[in-house]
Amino acid sequence: MAESVGEVPSGEKEFNQLTKRIRDIIEFPEISEEQFEEMIRKASRAYGGPLPHRTYSLCPETRRVVPALVWEKDGKVWITKRCPEGMITDVYYESVEQYYRFQRWKFDFKLMSANVENSGVNCPLDCGLCARHRSHTSLLNIVLTNRCNLSCWYCFFYAKEGQPIYEPTLEQIRMMLRNAKKEYPVGANAVQLTGGEPTLREDLIEIIKIAKEEGYDHVQLNTDGIKLAFEPKLVKKIREAGVNTLYLSYDGMTPQTNWKNHWEIPLIFENVRKAGGPGIVLVPTTIRNVNDHELGAIINFGLNHLDIVRGVNFQPISLVGRVPKKERQRFRITIPGAIARIEEQTNGAIAMDDWYPIPIAGHIARFFEAFTGSRYYMTSHYCCGAATYVFLDRDNKRVVPISRFLDVEGFVEYLESKAEEIEKWKSLGRLQKLKLGAEIFMKFKSFYDEKYAPKGLGVLELIKNAFMHGNYDALGKFHTNALFLGMMHFMDEYNYDVERVERCVIHYAMPDGRIVPFCTFNVIPELYRDKVQAQFSYTWEEWKAMHPDWEYQKDKYIRTKEFVERMKGSELYRKTYIDIEDYFGTIKG
């Protein structure tokens, strides 16, 4: 068993071992230029139109914007583009049924501000948030450093020895936070501090405080957690400074699938428990034939640590860079493909129909805006992400997705039908508010099935307090015994859809003042990430002069054999991984 001992973990050996056995591949269909031309002539063009659908994509070789076709065959959805070097096809969505089910909940939004003067006609080659962009920043990413304590072999964003160091100043970070707040009609309210490995910054606590000073309600730290395993005081400091969520890399249940921090996770969990937070979201990068056989087990793991784990957010791999067709067929997995594995690996406890597309939140947003005053529109493309909540019925040791006891779609449709009435909430008198709240609560009861709900959840009482008495704080209890499950599939050159990037809700702030969608920042690095950060980086010599006591190897984490042996025999390791409940009846003894 690979253990990454005596060296800086890179994952290369583990990946080579895992990929010796290929369980399945996706066969991409062939399509001729003539067939492409015939289909694209008849294809729909309006957003959310039926398949085949015309869009634009990127040529992986020339980086030109080229016509593309999203189309159906054999129950799957494909994307084909005509590039100068020929036709290129990749899988877009592994279930056409799920594609149409999610498409029903498309929600468009118009961002009324822009931070660049470009018209967007060359999207995505002239990005900021231009006049053509349709979504406000739901989550702002700020890269704090390109230094890292690991050396992941596939990583495109850590500084190797001798290379420039990128670390924006506190003034630049404050400027980037303020820029995203200026978006109209909805400014950014959530920020992710990322890297590299952001915990390597000595002024991290000050950065977190700046984010809170600038009015960000939600601050999450994207980390491998290595420093948090060995520095319990740092965990307490980041919680007290205002971090709400640790966005924690977690790729699998074994040292092979999770070579980054398998041995350190027990210490991270212990330190978070002692510090009383922050809440943890586990983030598995999901790869076909590598760790897709462990998705159900990862959810089961999260449910066993529900006192600190708030969610699992799966990220189907983005195959950036030049990737041969056979490699894409081996490693590509899409949202429906990952959900199908979860259904199988949980014995149907979490099924395909229990998930909803991210933009369904846009339909709910009008209600929350009227009742709470908060404005937060998740208006991504319906193929970008999916989510659900599952609840743990501890008495019966069963897992219950929210859709099993609440008709989510029916209730959302009802809220939409009452939208205009609900939007008058602030101007209504007390008795009118009480009457409207009582009406919504009574209607809610018709969508709610008490007998299937987890025992002790008390949803009806929470909703009653919210609708009839305006007590929204109680809704925080909704997360008791609840695990958020999310899935976000970032694009690459092969499945790139300009329609999707125009609706991107996860953005990067850059020190030149621009705000750029995730799938342009990382997919076209020569125009965005690498280019701009090179302009704002310190040369190796400058960095060394500024930090005379710093050495490259001091940043790096070396996992020792003694540490691994100590963890293997510890009670903490046993409590974390071994003495846990099997909620789905799928763990093999």
Residue 92 has pLDDT above 70, yes or no: yes
Query: Any residues with CB less than 8 A from the CB of 258 and at least 6 apart, and which?
Result: 250, 251, 252, 265, 291
Q: Assess whether pLDDT exceeds 50 at residue 577.
A: yes
Strand, coil or helix: 182: coil
pLDDT of the residue at 3? 64
Residue with tokens 């369980």: 23
Write the CB contacts of 513 (distance below 8 Å, at least 6 apart in sequence): 115, 175, 179
User: Per residue in 471-492, pLDDT tens?
Assistant: 556 555 666 678 999 999 999 9
User: What's the gap between Cα 175 and its chain centre?
Assistant: 24
What is the overall mean pLDDT for the chain? 91
* Omega before 278 within 30 of 0, i.e. cis: yes
The least confident of 183-192, 409-418, 467-476 is 467-476
> Where residue 586 falls among pLDDT bands split at 50, 70, 90?
confident
The encoded tokens of residue 360 equal 């369904």
Beta carbons of 371 and 474 less than 8 angstroms apart: no
Beta strand pairing status for 356-357 and 506-509?
unpaired
Neighbours of 279 (CB within 10 A): 18
Q: In this predicted structure, which of 123-127, 252-256, 265-269 has the lowest mean pLDDT?
A: 123-127
Q: d(Cα 329, Cα 411) in Å, to the nearest integer?
A: 39
Indicate if the pLDDT at residue 470 is higher than 70.
no
Asked if pLDDT for residue 444 goes beyond 50, the answer is yes
CA 369/CA 160 separation, integer angstroms: 46
pLDDT at 74: 97
Neighbours of 387 (CB within 10 A): 18
Mean pLDDT of 399-411: 92
Q: Is the pLDDT of residue 22 over 80?
A: yes
Decide if pLDDT at 106 tops 70.
yes
Q: What is the mean pLDDT of residues 114-129?
A: 86
User: Residue 157 has what pLDDT?
Assistant: 78
| Mean pLDDT for the stretch of residues 130-154 | 92
Q: Residue 472 has what pLDDT? A: 56
| Element spanning 53, H or E | strand 53-58
- Which of the two residues, 101 and 20, has the higher pLDDT score? 101
> Could you give the percent of the chain with pLDDT greater than 90?
71
pLDDT at site 1 = 46
What residue spans of 77-132 are helical by DSSP H? 96-103
Give the pLDDT confidence of 37-72 residue by residue, as tens digits.
Answer: 999 999 999 999 999 999 999 999 899 999 999 999
pLDDT(589) > 60: no
Alpha carbon distance 557, 549 (integer Å): 18
Confidence category of residue 424, pLDDT binned at 50, 70, 90 = confident
Is pLDDT of 181 > 70? yes
pLDDT band at 321 (very low <50, low <70, confident <90, very high): confident
Instruction: Provide mean pLDDT across the span 267-274.
Output: 98
Average pLDDT over residues 414-438: 78
pLDDT of residue 377: 65
Q: pTM of this prediction?
A: 0.95
Average pLDDT over residues 95-117: 89
- Name which residue leads in pLDDT, 538 or 360: 538
Half-sphere exposure of 454 (CA within 13 A, CB side): 24
Give residue-wise pLDDT tens across range 363-394: 776 666 666 666 666 789 999 999 999 999 88
Count of CB atoms situated within 10 Å of the CB of 321: 12
